[in-house]
Amino acid sequence: MCLAVPFKIISIDGNDAVGEYEGIFRKIRVDFIKSLDIGDYVMVHAGFAIEKLDEKQALLDIEAFKELEEAFR
């Protein structure tokens, strides 16, 4: 099973970026995303941004992850 997590882009340096999800910061490769700005949301799998999300969808995805986390507590 594959899992991608929504991250908000905090900084960009060429094909490298730093993303944040719920206080967790990760280095992300953004080679597959053509147009990316700080503040954008991307789905990240295995350290690579695989899809750019609009903010509304990203926030819905983050809320779904929170609901899943609560269900497993």
Of 64, 48, 44, the residue nearest 56 (C-alpha): 64
> In order of start, what are the domains of the chain with their CATH numbers?
5-71 (2.30.30.140)
- The whole-number average pLDDT for the span 54-71 is 93
Tell me what percent of the residues of the chain surpass a pLDDT of 90.
88
Q: Is the pLDDT of residue 12 over 90?
A: yes
What global pTM score does this model have? 0.90
Mean pLDDT of 3-29: 96
The whole-angstrom separation of Cα 41 and Cα 44 is 9
